[in-house]
Structures are given as C-alpha cells and as structure tokens.
Structure 1
Amino acid sequence: MSNTNPPQDLSWLLEDFTRRVPGVMHVLLSSTDGLKLAQASLTTVQAEKVAAALSGLQSLSSALVDILEITASPSGLKQVLVEHEGFMLCLMKVGQGLPVGHGNAGTDPRTVGTCLGVVVEPRADPGQIAYEAGLLSVSLGEYLSTPVRRGGAAASGR
C-alpha cells in the first residue's frame, strides 16, 4: 500500500512534545526539500523559514559526504546538533523516503524524506532532547514521507 496523500496534521503531537519535554521551545516537521508539514510554537512564517533552513542543513550534510569522499549515503543523515548562545537545535531525519507500509525496503524515488527540528533552551540537556526526539521520530517515521511534487517551477526548468 503506497501513501500518496500529504501527511495528516500532526501539530497536536508536536505541541504535546513541546509541553512534555523540558526546555523545548519550538518543534517543526518539514520535508527534506524545505516545506513545512507541522509545527508547534512557531508562526506560519517562522515555520516556513525554519523549514528552509533545516533543508539547508540537511543539504550541507549531504554535500560534506561528497566533498570529503566519505563512504556513506548522501541521504544518510541521522542527526545534526547546533549549539548557539541563545538556543540549541536538534535536526533528525525521520522519514526515509518510503511510502507507508513498505517498512525498510529501500528509498522510493516517488517520495521525499522528512526532518524533525527541535529548538530548545541553551541550558537544556542535549542528551535528553536527542533521546526524546529520537523516540518521537521512530514512532512517526514511517508516516512522514512526503510524495515528490510534480509540476511547478522545478518541473518546467525554471
């Protein structure tokens, strides 16, 4: 069974995560190509900009695999941690580009992966945040792959 519909609104789940995990300020689900899927504690404009930034971090990780000639999949991102004096960001790839119901069969070119971005207070415990975000991503990963979009500027070569 292949899922070609956009993901359901999972903002309620992210809001629960924000309330439940100490130090969490914002949470965002986005496609690896930079589209906002669900958010907690962000305005729509903020979420769209953060989604683009998360896509850039994911792309940077893939580029480094190529540049440094590391024997790993360019799409093999597991986690990126950014520490800033005003916040920490934990980025995890949660969807592997698989349609729902295909388990770990491999990457399906008809889908785009999904990332989870968690912004926390600078004094939050990064180990706890990564652990909690990992639990969330494991439980949701199979449901979060995003179908590749057809048409628009990219398809027309603009």
Structure 2
Amino acid sequence: MIQQRTNMDWMLKDLADSVPCLRHIIVLSADGLRMAQHGTCTDTADRLAAACAGLQSLAAAVGQEFPEGDGRMRLVVIEVSGGFFYLMAAGARAYLAVLADEGVDAGLVGQRMRDLVARIGEHLSTPARKGEVA
C-alpha cells in the first residue's frame, strides 16, 4: 500500500499543478479510508475522506430515483461560501475528491479530474472489504 500511495502522489501533484486554486486533493476508498493526499495534512484528509463516504452514499440513494440509470454516483459538486468541493468516482470503490478556492475555473477542475480518472482509474480501485457488496 505504501508504494501505491507514493505512485499516486505524483499523479495528484500533476492535477494540482495543472489547475490554479486547488486546495486539497485526496483519493479515498468507498468506506472513507484515505488512500492518498496532496496539499493537505493527514488529519484534514482523513476528515474529508470520512465525509466523502457519507456523501457518496447519499448521492447513490438519490441516484436510485433515476430508473433509467444504474444509480451509481459519478460526480458531486458542492459550491459553498469560499469555494467548491468535487467528488468523482475513480475506479471500483474508489473516489477522487478536490477542494478548490472560489476563484477556480470550475469547468477545468472537472475536466482535469475526468482526465486523471480516465488515465489511472483502474489503479485507484480498491478491493471489496470482507462482507461488503461489490
């Protein structure tokens, strides 16, 4: 796992360097465990990862209201006073989360996150935990 985190560090740094105003970037498992981080301390990354797990669960519940889809959360964007929060599915049971300052180019963030997930999404997947439904 340590090697995986090291490999992800440069990928997350590349995202941060390509989009001005990004504040925190984390990769997390579906159950809210931080897998990698950039631009933030471990405590903040852990809090965000835990919050993201609840948010993706809530988004999936809302997604069930669309019978033509599969109900899976793809992207959640929240605008708050001071900035934006993005949560994107990034492989099986893995997510990419970004917090950005208010002046960020919102479209560019989404595009770069999608590009990163398309390039390395399979490497961001996490195995199902014991007793977890895939």
TM-score by length of 2: 0.87
**Which residue type is aligned with residue 127 of structure 1?**
G
Structural mapping, 1:95-134, within 5 Å: 95=91, 97=92, 113-134=93-114
SS across alignment from 1:42: coil
**Which residue type is aligned with residue 135 of structure 1?**
D
Contact 1:7/1:37 (<8 A) preserved: no
RMSD, aligned α-carbons: 2.0
Contact 1:6/1:147 (<8 A) preserved: no
Structure 1 CA distance for aligned equivalents of residues 42 and 79 of structure 2: 24
Match of 1:27 in 2: 25
Aligned length: 129
SS across alignment from 1:123: coil
**Which residue type is aligned with residue 87 of structure 2?**
L
**Which residue type is aligned with residue 77 of structure 2?**
L
Contact 1:18/1:24 (<8 A) preserved: yes
Match of 1:50 in 2: 48
Q: Which has the larger radius of gyration?
A: 1
Match of 2:78 in 1: 82
2:70 to 65, 70, 73: 73
Structure 1 CA distance for aligned equivalents of residues 105 and 16 of structure 2: 14
Structure 2 CA distance for aligned equivalents of residues 45 and 120 of structure 1: 18
Q: Summarize the Cα distance change of 1:114–1:6 in structure 2 as closer, same or farther, 3 Å threshold.
A: farther
Deviations 1:23-77 (A, max 9, x none): 11111000111110000011111111100111111101111133xx321223x21
1:39 to 12, 37, 40: 37
- Gaps of at least 5 residues in structure 2 are none
Post-superposition shift, 1:132?
A: 0.8
> Structure 1 vs Structure 2: percent identity of aligned residues?
34
Structure 1 CA distance for aligned equivalents of residues 40 and 52 of structure 2: 14
Contact 1:7/1:143 (<8 A) preserved: no
Post-superposition shift, 1:81?
A: 0.6
Q: Summarize the Cα distance change of 1:143–1:7 in structure 2 as closer, same or farther, 3 Å threshold.
A: farther
TM-score by length of 1: 0.74
**Which residue type is aligned with residue 42 of structure 2?**
T
Larger helix proportion of the pair: 2
Contact 2:63/2:73 (<8 A) preserved: no
